[in-house]
């Protein structure tokens, strides 16, 4: 038995994910961060929705709520308005968070309610069989982009930064120790925090892009990301196909519910525990 077993709904195993799927690594990093932070398992709420990434938190032994595709952040917002003392963590796929749920992501970042959104980026819709996501790179193939992706890739970190997120970080499942640290920082941050975790989907993305060996895919991810320091050494051209890794934004701004309660002279009634 591992010391993390207490965070798992062991009776739900075996899980549904494919072997070689990177989502589990991202999820495990989150669990280790929660363990390091010694968060209370009863008052840390897992919110998720639909997709391979969206289904994973159901395996975790926290109070959990899984809603309709794209709507996790709205449910999370409601939980916080009802009881701001709860710790709320939202785990989503890139389609879930940035396509169907994109509008909610923008406005959640703008409001700055104290919660953490973890977005597992695999460049594809895994659950539905390999259709393209807003994060699919131009030229990559998907079941609905049989001639290659035409649309430009969406940079979710830039999007939420522009929308006003107060903590934004990008990590990947190769640099897993770093990913855990980023998640730890994000979860401890006061305000709306976002961690983008680059993961791999060998089954639906790899297969269509001539690289379905998980180890190869993870190596590619490793080569795709660089730290700020490494970036300083590179030319503009060299930077073009790289993604910055690490904490991208970390700032303070009044937290929405604290601000709401202050300006409205909110009168606590009974026990908003």
Partner 1 sequence: MNKKVLMQGNQAIAEAALAAGMKVCAGYPITPSTEVVELLSRKLPAYGGRFIQMEDEIASIGVIIGASAAGKKAMTATSGPGFSLMQELLGYAAMVEIPIVIYNAQRVGPSTGGATMPQQGDIMQTKWGSHGESPRIALCPSSVEEAYNLTITAFNLSEKYMVPVVILADEILAHIRESITIPESDSFEIINRRNNAPPQEEYLPYKVDHTGIPILPPLGGGYRYNISGMIHGDKGVPNLAPETIDYCIQRINSKLKKHYNDIVMVEKMEEENSKIAVLAYGSTARPAKGAVKMAIENGIKVDFIRLITIWPFPEREVREIARRVDKILVPEMNYEGQVAGLVKQSIEGAAEVVQFNKISGLPIYVEEIYNQIIKIERGEK
Ligand X SMILES: Cc1ncc(C[n+]2csc(CCOP(=O)(O)OP(=O)(O)O)c2C)c(N)n1
Interface residues with ligand X (CB under 6 A)? 50-53, 69, 93-96, 122, 124-128, 133
Instruction: Using alpha carbons, select from 19, 15, 14, 57 the residue that is nearest to residue 206.
Output: 19
Least distance to ligand X, CB of residue 50, Å: 4
The β-bridge partners of 92 are: 119
Give me the DSSP letters along 105-150: HHHHHHHT-SEEEEEEE-SEETTTTSEE-TTPPTT--BTTBTT---
Residue 203 touches which member of partner 1, ligand X, ligand SF4, none, C-beta under 5-8 Å by kind: ligand SF4
Residues of this chain that interact with partner 1 (CB under 8 A) are 9, 12, 41-43, 45, 47, 55, 58, 61-68, 71, 73-83, 85-86, 103-104, 106-107, 257, 260-261, 264-270, 272-273
- State the chain's maximal CA–CA distance in angstroms: 60
Q: How does DSSP classify residue 270?
A: S
User: In this structure, are strands 167-172 and 192-198 parallel, antiparallel, or unpaired?
Assistant: parallel
The verdict on 204 binding ligand SF4 (CB under 6 A) reads: yes
**Residue closer to ligand X, measured from CB, 50 or 184:** 50
**Residue closer to partner 1, measured from CB, 250 or 260:** 260
Q: Tell me the CA distances in angstroms from 159 to 69, 155, 171, 239, one per residue in order.
A: 20, 6, 16, 19
What CA–CA distance (Å, rounded) separates 137 from 101? Answer: 19
The verdict on 225 binding ligand SF4 (CB under 6 A) reads: no
The verdict on 95 binding ligand SF4 (CB under 6 A) reads: no
Least distance to ligand X, CB of residue 194, Å: 15
The verdict on 209 binding ligand SF4 (CB under 6 A) reads: no
Binding mask 106-145 for ligand SF4 (x = CB under 6 A): ----------------x---xx------------------
């Amino acid at each position: 038995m591992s010391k993390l077993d207490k965070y798992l709904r062991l009776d739900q195993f075996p899980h549904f994910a494919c072997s070689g799927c990177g989502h589990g690594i991202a999820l495990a990093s989150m669990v280790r961060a929660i363990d390091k932070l010694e968060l209370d398992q009863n008052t840390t709420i897992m919110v998720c929705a639909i997709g391979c990434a969206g289904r994973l938190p159901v395996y975790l032994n926290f109070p959990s709520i899984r809603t309709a595709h794209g709507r996790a952040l709205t449910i999370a917002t409601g939980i916080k308005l009802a009881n701001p003392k709860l710790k709320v963590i939202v785990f989503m796929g890139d389609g879930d968070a940035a396509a169907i749920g994109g509008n909610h992501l923008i406005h959640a970042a703008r409001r700055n309610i104290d919660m953490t959104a973890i977005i597992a980026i695999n460049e594809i819709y895994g659950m539905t069989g390999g259709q393209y996501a807003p994060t699919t790179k131009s030229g990559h193939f998907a079941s609905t982009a049989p001639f290659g992706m035409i649309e430009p890739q969406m940079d979710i970190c830039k999007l939420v930064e522009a929308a006003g997120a107060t903590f934004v970080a990008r990590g990947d499942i190769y640099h897993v120790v770093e990913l855990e640290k980023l998640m730890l920082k994000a979860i401890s941050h006061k305000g709306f925090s976002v961690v983008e975790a680059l993961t791999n989907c060998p089954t639906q993305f790899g297969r269509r892009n001539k690289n379905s060996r998980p180890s190869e895919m993870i190596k590619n991810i490793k080569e795709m990301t660089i730290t700020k320091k490494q970036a300083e050494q590179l030319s503009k051209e060299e930077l073009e196909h790289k993604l910055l890794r690490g904490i991208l934004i970390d700032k303070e701004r009044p937290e929405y519910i604290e601000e709401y309660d202050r300006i409205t002279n909110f009168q606590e009634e009974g026990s908003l525990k």
